[in-house]
Chains A and B, each alone.
Chain A
Amino acid sequence: MNRESKERIEEQLNGKPLWRSLDELADKPEFHQYLQDEFPLQAKAWLGKMDRRSFIRYATGTLALAGLAGGCRWRPQEKIVPYVKQPEDEVLGVPVSFATACTSRGPAIGILATSHENRPTKIEGNPGHPASLGGTDAITQASLYDLYDPDRSQYIRNLGEISSWDSCIFAIREMLLKQRENGGANVRILSGTIYSPTLHQQKQALLKMLPQAKWIQYEPVTRDMARQGAVIAFGQDVQPVYHFDKADRIVSLDSDFLMSMPGSVRYAKDFADRRRVREDMTEMNRLYSVASWPTVTSANADHHLAVKPSDVEGFALALASAVGVSAQGSLPASVPRGWFDAMVADLKANGSRSLVVPGLHQSPVVHAAAHAINQALGSQAVTYIEPIEAAPTDQMKDLAGLVEDMKGKRVEMLLILGANPVYNAPADLNFKEYLSNVLFKVHLGNYVDETAGECIWHIPETHYLENWSDAKAFDGTVSIVQPLVEPLYAGKSVHEFIAAMMGEPKLGYDIIRGYWQSQEQIGASEEKWTIALNEGLVAGTASPAKQVTANPRLQPEASGAKGMQILFLPDATIWDGRFSNNAWLQELPKPLTTLTWDNAAMIAPATAKDLKLDQNDLVNITFQGRTIKMPIWIQPGMPADTVCLHLGFGRTAAGALGNEVGFDTYALRTSQAPSYSPGVTIAKAGGIHQLVATQNHHAVSGSETMDGRDVVRSGLIDEYKKNPKFLNPPKDEEPDALFEKPKDYQEYDGYKWGMVIDTSACIGCGACVTACQSENNIPIVGKSQVQNGREMHWIRIDRYFAGGEDQPDTLFQPMTCMQCENAPCEPVCPVGATVHSHEGLNQMVYNRCIGTRYCSNNCPYKVRRFNFYKFSAGQPDLDPGNYDYPSLQLMANPDVTVRGRGVMEKCTYCVQRISAARIEAKKAGRDVKDGEIVTACQQACPAKAIAFGNIADAKSEVAKQKRQPHNYTLLDNLLTVPRTSYLAKLTNPNPEIKS
């Protein structure tokens, strides 16, 4: 270990040690053993019963007999099946993109969906859409998997038996006509939150036909409390829209605006735009975060405090009174006074360029206080609009009302449209029990889920890539959702279902077009309609800002409770459970914990010590008389005395992948405490449940972790202003070169592809990982294989902690193949399966690879991935979710090989995109233009932290970034000369606050 270098990094980080997991911080021997093993636990990989000697015996026999069969090959005759009538504008082999909107999580995110021969194969952000600006999040990327999921509901079912649409709609009509006699007083309709103007109109029409009926909206993750907060502040329900581009000082009150709010993709871009430090741009914004659970927002903050959920309210009230709003409340003891005063002074000094953002799960008072503070500061960075929900209501109260009605047997007909209350309703409502009081129950949904199993009828719902619809984005902009493919199964959209039920069956297109026919933004104009479809949004639909005045009475609501608090949050990847069966999201390491395929009870290291709990220990968590058993995950950066539970796991009818994964935390959640509450007890239950996190996998530099290698560089913007090169100090040691001199391709005069990743802009959300998975046909491997360190992601996000375990700083570093000019993997390959291209790509030739894995062994960045099994075709403990399933074959990108067993693979810089652009440029007799090639990770990145292009062209964006003084390459002392470089992370802490 090179002590001097290590000290230098620690000096940069103000003397804080850098670590990736608590095991590493504690310097446990198990951790070192783990790092020593190139692929941990591989000795246990042999799944068969055969021993080694018999294996060799059979292998020899096979080889001998192979000679007999070697000369004969029976290749099947391939067929060519052309069209009978080829559509005029169809050019086979050229993918087409359509503008539409992803509505998987509710509010629309504008996307461009790519279609290869009429099968959607990739989702990209729509640069013209305000909620996307070209970026997406991991959930949007992975929503493609939902379309092809083999476990999707495929048939209309009546009491579990396959039935037909005609008999289903006949039965519903018959019941409906009967119910109409008393105005539908015993009819209830339950749906998710409505963001679609057309659906809202259909709802109005239905309620006109059945005036006594009730339409309830329920989703487990709502903006109920934000709504109540707005009512306290303004006397009416309005929704804030934030403008991070105008905010110099931001305070997050337990908000995760970078990842889990409507508009997050946009917010991430606006936020990151203010942190992209360049030689000529050194003014950064400053983010203060007060968080009850470490999120990517708190990880990107310049100052972060971990406080108990209930303390956020005290903090908000104290901040309100400090800026001159009349409020009662005192600063919680967990917030240092000096820290708070310095922050308040900073906010006041920046006045209208300050912004306070409350978290959706925080109490109404916090929201009201935030509105009042923003008004007192005169913040220009927030405007208020009508809520984007078509009919905002108090969802929890409405659901409780429905259950009351079911209990009183006042519900005879219940239509559940796309909701899954049997699984996700609060435990105290006993939804499932009272549902049995309803005789006629119909479920429309993507899956035969927990609710479908309790209903008489089930109708498969179409995916958003299969149907016509419309939806509002976070700022009110409406997108028309257009289909790319006919429904794969007998699916109906919610619009078609309601129309048919009301006796006016129509095609989805006619319903949506019909609605917009009556709207002034489009009307009868076919031209405007076509433009709206082409652009992916209806022009002029963004909600106008409303003038509102905050005049709240701010009184503390949360009792400043002592003792343990429980906090419920949606999961970072599978959200409220609706994506449980999505293989890509289940395997995506969650941003802060790097957990995959599980949820756990998150507690702080200090709390773990108090309770004498260790990682993976099973505990009984008791809250309001209900108990669940789940494992413990000790998370640095959690506030003490808080247990955080993520929703969406432990499902019983999600599908083959999602069933029995993790633990059902809805079993503890009540309608009175949907967010956080005191009064929870944790007791050791005995036994463990192995959680699988990727935080220790693929440690850069192999045998020893961070020792002596300044891989993650981070520093203060004030230092940078004084000396922009301060993170690139001159080397005091001789480079430890792997090779003597450069090769001929380094003098090549053509393109030189390169990449720069700006770690100041990267928020660590994981959208790039999923985008890469989709673009490059990367298989999933399942929990047991992730445990063995065999996840196949070509790009990973390394997450480092700096400082103590209680409130560490967090640093994210996306890692792809570095495409080293002197690639250490190349000389060790015995068969020349990995060689260099003249344009500087480290090529991996699958057909030559015999699987020695020497290359991976010699890679100091650990970015190579080996197919230990035929992962692409399913494997022993995880059959669905892979490319051998007929429906999933349709999902594959035809321009990328689906790899087989026994070959190595790694990031290619999306060489299929390079090839396509290069061929087009050659045909046009020109050079590839800067920005013409966009890699999948670069495209998906909401923060636009990745630049790619030709570094030989001095004017290209990537070359400009490489000339920045804080540009550095990893392990440059090895002289591998990576083509991927990083811009060091710069932070802008308040000089008045000493950490």
Chain B
Amino acid sequence: MGQIFSPTTNTLAKLSIYGAVVVPLGILFGGSAISRSPYNTNVGVTLNQPIPFSHKHHANELGIDCRYCHTSVEKTAFAGVPPTHTCMSCHSQIWTNSPILEPLRQSWRSNEPLIWNRVNKLPEFVYFNHSIHIARGISCNQCHGAIQKMQVTSKGFAFSMKWCLDCHREPEKYLYSDEAHPNMTPQDQALSLYKKIQSGVELTPREEALKEGLPYQATAAEIEKGKELVAKLKVKKEQLADCWTCHR
């Protein structure tokens, strides 16, 4: 009686046994890698904008305060996107013939707004408030990445829920007080980080990470100080991680 299975079947059988383990794992890891990659999250991906506005130039090289344009960042949930009028406060005087600013002048003449492509977007079910984060001294870069280095603005971090909860569960790892300026309010500390970067003074490792838009692991000593700060600011950690703090 001839053999039913040829010798290659042995190899196939082994392959399918290993494959049964490896292939699903590969799909899982691959899928998760894709989902966390910029392909999906758009982190670092620039978008076409009507005007290639540079935060690097305006915020870092010229040193314009964030609040000059994002006027309501300390007051309300929305940071605010500047009206054409704000841009024209300078650009009616300088670079008045620049071709890349033509859409701006067009908007000003025709009274039609500029239409920007949105870079940072939270899911609809998240109610985020800028003002309270600034009030607690959370730097813009903490969420938006190295904004002062961006020629064209792109997403700094993927806004995943876990990423938000890292801080909402353990704020002591993220809250800090600038030892060089101990009397500064958390709000001023957050917004004056850029002045510090421009001045070229030496930065702490944490500030260096913020400057580069990189994640930072707080040291044990920093966490202790963070805990003191949490107590001083009367931050209720339990409440921070309640669902209805952000979702409702």
Contacts and interface: CB of A to CB of B under 8 A. Distances in A.
Interface stretch (A794-802, A834-842, A880-888): A834-842
A831 to B, nearest CB: 13
Interface string A845-873: 11100000000000000000000000000
B84 A83 contact: yes
Contacts, number: 115
B248 A912 contact: yes
Contact of A897 (B78, B115, B118, B124): B124
Interface of B: 31, 34, 40, 47, 72, 75-78, 80-85, 107-108, 111-118, 121, 124-125, 127, 129, 131-132, 135, 236, 238-239, 242-245, 247-248
Contact of B80 (A81, A92, A837, A841): A92
A84 B248 contact: no
A838 B240 CA distance: 9
Contact of B245 (A78, A83, A86, A915): A915
Contacts of B78: 92-93
Contacts of B125: 846-847, 897
| Chain B, interface SS category | loop
A93 B72 contact: yes
A508 to B, nearest CB: 25
6 contacts: A84-B108, A86-B85, A750-B239, A838-B242, A841-B242, A919-B131
Nearest to A835: B243
A81 B112 CA distance: 10
Nearest to B75: A91
Contacts of A94: 72, 75-76
Nearest to B82: A82
Interface of A: 71, 73, 77-86, 91-94, 745, 748, 750, 835, 837-839, 841, 843, 845-847, 895-897, 908, 911-912, 915, 919, 922-923
A428 B34 CA distance: 77
B80 to A, nearest CB: 6
Given A77-B47, A750-B238, A843-B242, 15 more contacts: A80-B117, A84-B84, A84-B107, A84-B108, A84-B113, A91-B72, A92-B78, A93-B78, A750-B239, A838-B238, A843-B244, A845-B247, A846-B247, A897-B125, A897-B248
Given A92-B80, A895-B127, A923-B131, A78 B244 contact: no
Nearest to A832: B243
Contacts of A922: 132, 135
- Chain A binding site: helix, strand, loop or mixed by DSSP? loop
A84 to B, nearest CB: 4
A86 B117 CA distance: 19
For the complex of A and B, the 5 pairs showing the least CB-CB separation, nearest first, are: A83-B83, A837-B242, A78-B118, A93-B76, A838-B238
Contacts of B85: 83-86
Nearest to B133: A919
Given A79-B118, A837-B239, A839-B239, A896 B81 contact: no
A840 to B, nearest CB: 10
Nearest to A918: B239
A341 to B, nearest CB: 58
A555 B82 CA distance: 75
A79 B242 CA distance: 31
A86 B75 CA distance: 16
Given A84-B107, A897-B125, A91 B238 contact: no
A694 B10 CA distance: 71
A839 to B, nearest CB: 6
B113 A83 contact: yes
A78 B122 CA distance: 11
Contact of A91 (B40, B76, B108, B244): B76
A440 to B, nearest CB: 42
A835 B238 CA distance: 13
Given A843-B242, A915-B245, A82 B81 contact: yes
B90 to A, nearest CB: 16
A839 B248 contact: no
Contacts of A85: 83-85
B248 A745 contact: no
Given A71-B31, A84-B113, A94-B75, A915 B244 contact: yes
A837 B244 contact: yes
Given A835-B243, A922-B132, A77 B76 contact: no
A911 B244 contact: yes
A533 B132 CA distance: 33
A750 B240 CA distance: 12
Contacts of A841: 242, 244
Contacts of A750: 236, 238-239
